Amino acid sequence: MPYDSNDTPLNSLGFAKPPSETRVVVAMSGGVDSSVVAAMLKEQGYDVVGVTLQLYDHGAALAKKGACCAGIDIHDARRVAEEMGFPHYVLDYENIFKDAVIDEFADSYLAGATPVPCIRCNERVKFKDLLETARDLDADCMATGHYIQRMDGEHGPELHCAADANRDQSYFLFSTTPEQLSFLRFPLGHLPSKDATRELAAKYGLAVADKPDSQDICFVPDGNYASVIEKLRPGAAEPGEIVHADGRVLGSHEGVIHYTIGQRRGLGIGGLSEPLYVVRLDVDKKQVVVGPKEMLATRTVPVREINWLGDEPFTSRDQWEISVKVRSTRPPRAAIIRPLSETTAEVELLTPEEGISPGQACVFYDPESSRIFGGGWIWRG
C-alpha cells in the first residue's frame, strides 16, 4: 500500500484519507466505460457524484445510438446513478460545445484540414469547464472512463498509455496539461481488455453492460462529415476542378469538403492507367489535387500548439529523439523533434508516412516506456 510523506496510507485514488471522505466527480457519458468507473468507485466507498454533459440538440440526438452524450445516453447515465445510489447532474453545455468544438470543426474542414474534434472536446470542454465544475462541487478529483494511465513520477503525475494497446486513447488526450493531470484519475487504464470492463459492468448489474461502443464523432451521424458541414455552413460546398499534380484537369467535384488527404475511392475520375490519390486540397482555387501514391509520403511535419509533458523544458534541447503518432490508428514511429519555440516544432519522421493531413494531431511518445510526452497539431507551415 502506498503512503504519503507522513507515512499515512493512501487510498486507491491517491489521497491520505478514507474513501468515504474523498469526493470524486465522475464524467458519465452513459456508456459502459464511465458507468463502470462510477460503480467501481461507489462500491469502494467513495463519495461519488455523477455529471453528464448535454452537448447538442436532443431532438435530433434522442434516436441516435452509437454516439456519446446523446439523449438516450443521458437516460442511461441517470439510471446507473439511481441503481448505485449516488447523485447525478446533467449540465447544459450546448453553447460551450458549439463555440469550442463544432464551429472550429466546420471552419477547419472548410480550410482543407481534417480536424479531430474529440481532442478539442477533451481539451476545451471536459478537462476545462467540466473540471472547474468538479472543483466547484468540492471534489478531490475527477474520474473518467478513458483508457489511459496516470502514474506518479519523480517530477509529478505522468501520462502513460493504457495497458491494452487496442483500447489506448492517448492520441486523444495529448493536450492534457500537468495541472489537469494532477486532478484527473483514469481507473480503467490498467485493465487488460474491454472484456474486463464489461465483466465488471455485469458484476455490478449495470443495464449498460452490453451497450455497444460509440463509433462516430458524437455530432456527426453515420460519419458523414460533409452533410454536417453543409448544415453548419450553408453554401460551403462550392464546386470546382479535380486536377492532377502535373496540371491536367481530370474532372469536377461538388466541394472540397467531400474529400480528405489520401482518399482514393469515390473520386469520379475512373478510366485512368494509374491509381490516383488526393494529395492536396487547394481551398482558394477550389481544387482537389490528385497524384500517385508516392506523393503522399511525408517526412517533415510542422507542428504547433504543443503541449509538452516532459520533465525538462521543451526548448532545453536542440532536438528530441522520440516516437510520434500522426494518426490515431497508426503505431508510434521513430522521429526527431526540433523545437522552434515552446509551442512550435519541426518533426522529422525517420520513415516517411503517407496521408498526413493538416488538422490531425502529432503525439509524442517515449520510445523506451509507455509514457506520453504530449504533442501538437499538424499544420501547413
Active site residue ranges: 121, 218
Q: Is 355 left (phi over 0), alpha (psi -120 to 50) or beta?
A: left
**80 and 51 in contact (C-beta within 8 Å)?**
no
CA of 145: how far to CAs of 29, 197, 292, in Å?
Answer: 9, 10, 42
Residue holding cell 459492468?
201
Residue 345's DSSP bridge partners are 303, 339
CA nearest to 30, candidates 46, 47, 49, 53: 53
Q: What is the DSSP letter of 10?
A: P
Run of H or E residues at 334: strand 333-339
The secondary structure of 339-350 as a DSSP string is ESSSS-EEEEEE
| Distance between CA atoms of residues 71 and 81, nearest Å | 16
| Distance between CA atoms of residues 338 and 308, nearest Å | 13
**105 and 65 in contact (C-beta within 8 Å)?**
no
